[in-house]
Amino acid sequence: MTKRNRTLGALVVVLLVVLGCRGGAHAQSRRVSPHETTMATVDGSAMLIEYGRPSMRGRTIFGGLVRYNDVWCPGADEATMLSTSRPLRMGALAVPAGEYSLWILPTESTWTLILNKEAHTFHTNYRGSRDLGRVAMQKQTLSAPVEQLTFAIEPNSSGPGGRLVMTWATMEASVSFLVGE
């Protein structure tokens, strides 16, 4: 390969990288739902949740936009992703350190959190064959609606562990966890 061809090849790579980055930024600016990351360190585990934050915009969310008895990805665009640097225990489910996509199976009476090993996927590409497992969620009705889907990682104030909390519309759904289990 000549020096001229190597230089031309390097220029093409640089242009592809620059244009690819601009394309990604442009795509982000076209998104209806902003994207957010929430982080916390709980009992030595660095944890984060990355997700798109859709808004209610006057819509009926649960039982409307989010149908009961269908697996739903709580977020927009890319699937909502949980990362943990240490193993967790959620109910009877052992969660090794790593990255997982989060899915929920809501019914009118109970909600189930699904952790899926396919962490980097689109929010409509649920593949149950890649599930790590499922755990029951605690849910409660809120007195005032939350306009945008919101996640939080809350350390327990009076003991080990914490909980993952999702709020949207008039619903709060959460799951407790212990670290290092």
- Determine the Cα–Cα distance for residues 162 and 176; give it in Å rounded to an integer: 6
**pLDDT category of residue 31 using cuts at 50, 70 and 90:** low
140-177 per-position pLDDT tens digit: 999 999 999 999 999 999 999 999 999 999 999 999 99
User: What share of the chain in percent tops pLDDT 90?
Assistant: 78
Following DSSP, what letter does each residue of 68-88 receive, concatenated? Answer: TTS-B-SSSSBPPEEEESS-E
Closest to 154 measured CA to CA, from 47, 32, 27:
47
pLDDT at 32: 72
Average pLDDT value for residue range 107-133: 94
The number of beta carbons lying within 10 Å of the beta carbon of residue 77 is 18
**pLDDT category of residue 19 using cuts at 50, 70 and 90:** very low
pLDDT at 142: 97
The residues spanned by each domain of the chain are 1-30, 33-179
- Determine the Cα–Cα distance for residues 77 and 82; give it in Å rounded to an integer: 15
Q: Measured between alpha carbons, how far is residue 159 from residues 61, 83, 162, 177 in Å?
A: 34, 22, 8, 11
Query: Are 140 and 156 contacting, i.e. CB atoms less than 8 angstroms apart?
Result: no
- Determine the Cα–Cα distance for residues 11 and 7; give it in Å rounded to an integer: 6
Six-digit token string for 120: 């980097």
Q: What does the buried/exposed string (b/e) look like for 153-174 if buried means 16 or more CB atoms within 10 Å of the residue's CB?
A: bebeeeeebbbbbbbbbebbbb
**pLDDT category of residue 1 using cuts at 50, 70 and 90:** low
Q: Which of 31-35, 66-70, 165-169 has the lowest mean pLDDT?
A: 31-35
Instruction: Record the pTM.
Output: 0.81
Ordered alpha helix ranges (H), the chain:
3-30
pLDDT at 44: 96
Q: 20 pLDDT exceeds 60?
A: no
**pLDDT category of residue 12 using cuts at 50, 70 and 90:** very low
- Determine the Cα–Cα distance for residues 84 and 98; give it in Å rounded to an integer: 5
